[in-house]
Structure 1
């Protein structure tokens, strides 16, 4: 089969498939296609070709809309009718689950609590249920079990006493200061009670006068017995009365100390030694009388007020000292009551600190109830998925900010893939993201297992291994934006090899010479050396980073790349370059040298750069101020006395839509589902009031301009030199396909990073800058990588230096210097496996990166 034109579909009528006809979402050009069900389908194409429009804005949007239509009328009354994707017909779409590349990424603010691996993977919810079901409260003071007592359990205790032991059954009177003595005595006598112990002296109630004093230190005696001739029924009745009259407390005075009672605390009655044992129907320690809450799921949730440490409020850090562990919870983020609940000698925090294989072993030895057995099965399945994905070395307590992008991606995959659904459509955005080539097969295997459970998978991908492993391939293009959105190819990998008009096919069929290149082609201008690095899993390594070259740090996920570059090198350079001494930044290393050879260091990471949907590329690069000024200078705008401020959707006094406050959509919290985003019914996604939309510049409104891609806006603003300069920088970093008004929180990690790079390139030139970047190629089609290389060449030519964390072999093979970490992940990583040129690393026998480079040159 060869490439197809717009409307052709390859599946026969008998093949079960999702049928899409006349799809016109965003830049999709009225395409028709059939997506085979119960297969692994890859959607590929150059960046901006329409892949997300097809996978998420069409398939997932329609699946979500149809699901909401199945809800009861009572539930639907709070939800507006979701608009249908712009298509003639979509049929046979199954229930749909989606995972976007930025789904697990949250902006870090001072008001939010950082999630951990357990939460992100979905394991923590089941652990909370398990500890609620099987957990036993162990007093943190006395280290003894704390259980609610009953007359029957106290009777069992009495049976354990030595023979001929005398004992008295009592109950504490409680607070007496709110009742007059005469009335209190009358009430007690009327109930048939005759004896009391007040301030360690026994007395008869009917012999006490109105002038007598009854203090809070008072026990009412119900019965005096001996184990030699104990009547169980009589004991039970007395104990029942004691629990009832005291609102949950029964007291035994025992002549001889029981084995569980400390022998140095006798209770004197009429100067005779007795031993007092208190029993509580609530969770109260019988020895120190510390009270505990009944275990329930929210008790083990540091996002909940019930479970969070009251000192650090669930952050785990000392409020007064920043990075130091909280002095109250020792970094566990939970209060003392939650930490007191244990199963098999571990509380939930101690369990979460262990590696996943240890947790699996712990679970396998539990004696559990039928209810708990199902919980253990769910937990084990998710833990096994984490192990299968190659991140079993992680602990569940590990904070999300300490994870590499590859680890984050696979944890998010675990949450989606462990749902055990069947006959479901899974839509995934670049599951290869953040993966070393050596890790790719793990994820591919999991996806194929999911497919074999009669599920359908649609993945948006650029990675050659994932494309080759697909059952069916759909390529959109041939270009980005308005020159994309067409169905370029549909078929198998064997059929793609013969597709002459497929850009992806040209890349897959390309051959590489055995000689590796060098981006800068020059010697290093200097170097920076770190010694004794022990951050996270780094094993006391010393590393030399060349300057003036493209240096790439490689290694499988979890090998220590982010620990070395982002968490050690960057903070140490910040400290060294600071004009004034700054406090400890949390890294662990012995020394750093060579910092006098750079003037500044810039970390371009993948963190979110927009906190609200009103943050867009045009505002981030200060393009929007100029665009608003252009519209304010039009004749229609001057006639209506409109200023640039009126064209701002961030200003309350501007012309933004009052319903959506300038975002163009409304977010609905469904509580039982992910938040639902709907187009604003007032402005229909235009962001502005009608008066502002009537103002046109070159026949387009300001809303029309925000919908334009960077590539489209560049010629549109001809004659605007300042605007075009900034737009060109976006094109140069490979972001020509993104719309000017796309909400920044919707960008992928790689897009965020390249946008930060473009912002730097638009500013005045700086000298001797060291750029640190984490996977800048993320989200780019192989044919778009050249945009990035052009930027790197520009920076290196200007005298700057680049250190990248990368998995992309296209970039690694043209590095000037490689630092390969490993050999494995977690505790088995954190060592330097190989350093040198790509040729030297490829020849190293123990380097997984070297093996991948050799495989690349052999044509995969």
Structure 2
């Protein structure tokens, strides 16, 4: 075994730990460490230092591989053997569960049928079971319960009739439905039936003049009795026969109505009015005869044909009506049968429209009995977790596209953390992302509760609060890419603060000026104003955004930042600048002024920039075209008549691997588990056929070039000015550590956003552009934030404008102008708390952002 790297700690062999020896996954350099179990462990380090390689590509990958090895040989025959992470030894690893930052945000479901909070949190599936088990069908037309009847229930109804009430037990018959009327009449007589009610007259079946009608129903009388002389067994047999002979329906004619129930419709027989009551042994309304499906879980699922609205197909809106609410389901996305099932006079859609905190109260008042205690407990625990994470103001029907990144992150956490597993290793990617400083302690508290259940947590983090809260800290570095991958620190937070070789320690100990320094320092060149904004939770909000400056929109998660910037400001500016009636957003604001002061608006969101694993950073910035041309110009390529097209793994006619179609991986659908991604056994993840890999440029083939990081590729392509210019764009936005061939779906939201930003840095356009960004700092180590600030300064100098949604105090404190929303979340938010410079916001006692800025300044002053 190789020698331990500096900083490795093996002093306490009695402490249960995952033992990692000689880990060389990606850029990790022979890592040796003991990762303590049953603790909250934070892995930190600058961007690209190897954190994800250790947490996900080593720990989680090995845990997943070992789990699959426990499957039966019959199941494993459909799964290729997962490769072991490149390590000398990994022991003591428990079962693992992972939550990556980009999973919830980049789901493949189309926006029109996107999931909701209930689905993402896992609560909806339990509510479907609850409504299946306890739901009662209420006819929407008649407003009466619709339940399957039995002979016993009909007998119980008869016993509610007044004393000495005459009644007749019948069943409806439609002549000609089975065979000829003459044959049918003979069969009825043979079965001992003697009377029928035809055209409101009683007839004897054996009377030669009796004829069953060719059209129209008639009633076959099975028995005539009185409540004063009842024989329960006789009644039960008669009703059971009625159900059998009529395929599930029975008719009761009573001379007097029941004393305690609604009288039935009058039915004349022999010039005397009888009260008619229809009974069905299936879900059919006794008054209007509307039929309903039996409740089952898929009935309440708008992704299923069983439950989806037949008009809008589960979208909730009709495209032919301009995306208006579907008139059939009123936006519920469910069919009428599903909406007819109610518990305590609430259907599943109405329940999902209530805030989560109200659903918890509704559930607590539900008297379901011990048989359903486990089901209710599962729902309650998830509701409690959502409340503990500070998002109980949301509704379960809230669509994912309307949620902020912080809300999405906490909902995803709920789904993972509510599994009630013990002795499990949870691997989480930046649980602080999207969170205001006022929300972070909530998440930390939930993580500690999970740890206290005898679980182990490993989180990849940059946030100082999460690092401080860790029981054990592991830092990788000291640089990114090949300059990283080393274990530079392992220990407690207090020990980290004393570490001399830790980049994170350098940031934590760095003294920041107590005076806020605006990034541009210039007055605004103009302004854009919105009046009367009402989208989502915005409360008739009016706001002015300065131009030519760095404007940052802040506030607690759920306060309305995304609703204001992405869903109102961006959509309204697009409609104004394009003058396209089709792009006009829903009416959610009264007026917009100042749009004439910009030429274009660009939303650099965190949405997925590539739809397939074949999309890579090199293709996004057109780097790959030039790289392919360079390889096509080599002597070996010209000798084999290879062109640039042959080096494309996106073209069917190129030199890509036919097995994986150029992705380097094979997706396996495990059905009962998440899809499994495995390295292609044909090309070993290199994407290309062997012939293409034999072509070298500066001793590297094209697959090896794609494995290089941006920082490594920059000097490699010396002399290629155009190529180096684009590579520098990526370096400038802090993406120098990502490999050229990394699949874009694997990038975090912040990385996707900065990749988009890189495309605009060297643009020669003279247009006055307004850039809108949502948390561009996500995924960046504090020491890498300066890259981002340099890019912002460049754009502002070029005459552009920037509006950011941010929680990162490093960016907030250098803003030229802050718009702080709140004061709370959901219905308690959607208002402007304060606007102004960071110093002015810090002086506002009602602002949570101001409190965080004050704490930052006071902390710096105390350190100095």
TM norm. shorter chain > 0.5: yes
CA contact (8 A) 2:7 2:489 kept: no
Q: Which residue of 1 aligns with 2:30?
A: 30
Q: Give the corresponding residue for 1:255.
A: 255
Question: Does the residue aligned with 2:320 lie in a helix, a strand or coil?
Answer: coil
SS at match of 2:651: coil
Whether the 8 Å contact between 2:518 and 2:816 is mirrored in structure 1 is yes
The change in CA–CA distance for 1:234 and 1:264 in structure 2 (over 3 A counts) is closer
How far apart, in 2, do the equivalents of 1:765 and 1:219 lie? 84
Q: CA deviation at 1:330?
A: 0.4
Q: Cα 1:665–1:837, aligned 2, differ >3 Å: closer, same or farther?
A: same
Is 2:826 the counterpart of 1:821?
no
Task: Deviation per CA, 1:54-97: give whole Å up to 9, x if none.
Answer: 00000000000111111122222211111111101000001111
Q: 1:701 to 1:174 in 2, by over 3 A?
A: farther
CA contact (8 A) 1:249 1:281 kept: yes
- The residue matched to 1:97 in structure 2 has which SS? strand
Hey, what's the Cα distance between the residues in 2 that align with 1:431 and 1:348?
Answer: 31
The one-character-per-residue Cα deviations of 1:77-133 (angstroms, maximum 9, x if unpaired) are 211111111101000001111100011123566586201000111111111111111
Structure 2 counterpart SS, 1:459:
strand
Map residues 90-101 of structure 1 onto 2, 5 A cutoff.
90-101=90-101
Q: How far apart in 1 are the matches of 2:683 and 2:689?
A: 7
Q: Does the residue aligned with 1:760 lie in a helix, a strand or coil? A: coil
What residue in structure 1 maps to residue 619 of structure 2? 619
8 A contact 2:26–2:53 mirrored in 1:
yes
1:242 counterpart residue number: 242
Q: Which residue of 1 aligns with 2:460?
A: 460
Matched residue, 1:746: 746
Instruction: Tell me if the contact between 1:319 and 1:326 (Cα under 8 Å) persists in the aligned partners.
Output: no
Deviation per CA, 1:597-632, whole angstroms, max 9, x where unpaired?
111111111111111111111111111111111111
Q: Report SS of the residue matched to 1:573.
A: helix
Q: How does 1:317-716 map to 2 (within 5 A)?
A: 317-716=317-716
Deviations 1:161-217 (A, max 9, x none): 112211111111246245122221221111111111223232122224697645441
CA contact (8 A) 1:198 1:214 kept: no
Q: Tell me the alpha carbon deviations over residues 472-528 of structure 1, each in whole angstroms, 9 at most, x when there is no partner.
A: 100001111111101111111111111111100000111122101110011111111
Q: Is the 8 A contact 1:389 1:410 kept in 2?
A: yes
Checking the alignment, whether the CA contact within 8 Å between 2:706 and 2:741 is kept in structure 1 is: yes
Distance verdict in 2 for CA 1:623–1:820, change over 3 Å: same
1:533/1:275 CA distance change after superposition, 3 Å: same
Shift in alpha-carbon separation, 1:208–1:711, aligned structure 2, 3 A: farther
1:11 CA drift (Å): 4.4
For 1:587 and 1:562, the matched residues in 2 are separated by 17
Task: State how far apart, in whole Å, the 2-side matches of 1:471 and 1:410 are.
Answer: 22
1:810 & 1:377 partners in 2: Cα distance?
42
Cα distance in 1 for partners of 2:497, 2:82 equals: 40
How far, CA to CA, are the matches of 2:74 and 2:439 in structure 1?
A: 47
Mapping of residues 140-151 of structure 1, within 5 Å: 140-151=140-151
CA shift, 1:141, in A, is: 1.0
In the TM superposition, residue 586 of structure 1 has moved relative to its aligned partner by 2.0
In the other structure, the counterpart of 1:776 is: 776
* CA positional deviation for 1:339: 0.5
> CA 1:109/1:643 → structure 2, altered by over 3 Å: closer, same or farther?
farther
**Contact map agreement 1:572 1:587 (CA 8 A) in 2:** no
Would you say the 8 A contact 1:134–1:372 is kept in 2?
A: no
Is there any run of 5+ residues in structure 1 with no aligned partner, and where?
none
Q: What per-residue deviation string (whole Å, max 9, x for no partner) do you get for residues 334-389 of structure 1?
A: 11111111111100100010011110110111111223211111111111110110
Aligned residue number for residue 197 of structure 1: 197
State which drifts further: 180-189 or 401-410. Answer: 180-189
Q: 1:72 to 1:158 in 2, by over 3 A?
A: same
Task: Choose 618-627 or 458-467, whichever is displaced more.
Answer: 618-627
> How many angstroms apart in 1 are the aligned matches of 2:834 and 2:167?
76
Taking the aligned partners of 1:567 and 1:812, their CA distance within structure 2 comes to: 22
- Per the TM alignment, residue 5 of structure 1 is displaced from its structure 2 partner at its CA by 4.0
Rounded Cα–Cα distance in structure 2 between residues aligned with 1:291 and 1:115: 29
How many angstroms does 1:263 deviate by? 5.8
1-side partners of 2:171 and 2:745: how far apart? 62
**CA 1:584–1:264 in 2, change beyond 3 Å: closer, same or farther?**
farther
CA distance in 1, matches of 2:721, 2:56: 36
Q: Could you tell me how far apart the structure 1 residues matched to 2:249 and 2:55 are?
A: 63
SS of 1:527 mapped into structure 2 = strand
Paired residues of 2:170 and 2:221 also in contact (CA < 8 A): yes
Contact in 2 for aligned 1:300/1:334 (Cα 8 Å)? yes
Cα 1:11/1:385, change in 2 over 3 Å: farther
Mapped partners of 1:412, 1:175: distance in 2: 60
Q: Is the 8 A contact 1:10 1:490 kept in 2?
A: no
> Does the Cα contact within 8 Å between 2:8 and 2:490 map onto a contact in 1?
no
Question: How far 1:271 moved relative to its partner?
Answer: 3.0
Does the residue aligned with 1:691 lie in a helix, a strand or coil? helix
| Alpha-carbon distance in structure 1 between the residues aligned to 2:364 and 2:261 | 35
TM-aligned CA deviation for residue 259 of structure 1: 6.1
Corresponding position of 2:161: 161
The alpha-carbon deviation at position 275 of structure 1 amounts to 2.1
1:75 alignment partner in structure 2: 75
Distance of aligned partners of 1:163 and 1:14 in 2 relative to their CA distance in 1, 3 Å threshold: same
In structure 1, how many angstroms separate the alpha carbons of the residues matched to 2:815 and 2:454? 43
Deviation at 1:579, TM superposition (A): 3.7
Q: Is the 8 A contact 1:657 1:683 kept in 2?
A: yes
CA distance in 2, matches of 1:16, 1:106: 36
Give the CA deviation at 1:587. Answer: 4.7
Please show how residues 835-850 of structure 1 align to structure 2 within 5 Å.
835-850=835-850
**Take 2:105 and 2:447, find their aligned partners in 1: how far apart are those partners?**
22
> Are the equivalent residues in 2 in contact too, given 1:123–1:379 (CA < 8 A)?
yes
Residue 227 of structure 1 and its aligned partner are, at CA, apart by 1.1
User: Is the Cα contact below 8 Å between 2:554 and 2:561 reproduced in 1?
Assistant: yes
CA distance, structure 1, for counterparts of residue 341 and residue 558 of structure 2: 32
Partner of residue 42, structure 1: 42
Q: What is the distance in 2 between the residues matched to 1:214 and 1:394?
A: 60
TM-align CA RMSD: 1.6
Contact 2:532 2:541 in 1 (8 A): yes
Partner Cα separation in structure 1 for residue 212 and residue 144 of structure 2: 39
Q: Is the 8 A contact 2:160 2:260 kept in 1?
A: no
The answer as to whether partners of 2:283 and 2:293 remain within 8 angstroms in 1 is yes
Match of 1:223 in 2: 223
Moved more, 581-590 or 649-658: 581-590
* 8 Å contact kept, 2:135–2:342: yes
Contact 1:149–1:282 under 8 Å retained in 2: yes
Are positions 1:269 and 2:260 aligned together? no
Give me the whole-angstrom Cα distance separating, in 2, the residues matched to 1:373 and 1:178: 48
TM-score (norm. length: structure 2): 0.97
Q: In the TM superposition, what is the alpha-carbon distance from 1:10 to its structure 2 partner?
A: 4.6
- 1:17 aligned residue: 17
Q: SS where residue 320 of structure 1 aligns? A: helix
Q: 1:517 to 1:212 in 2, by over 3 A?
A: closer
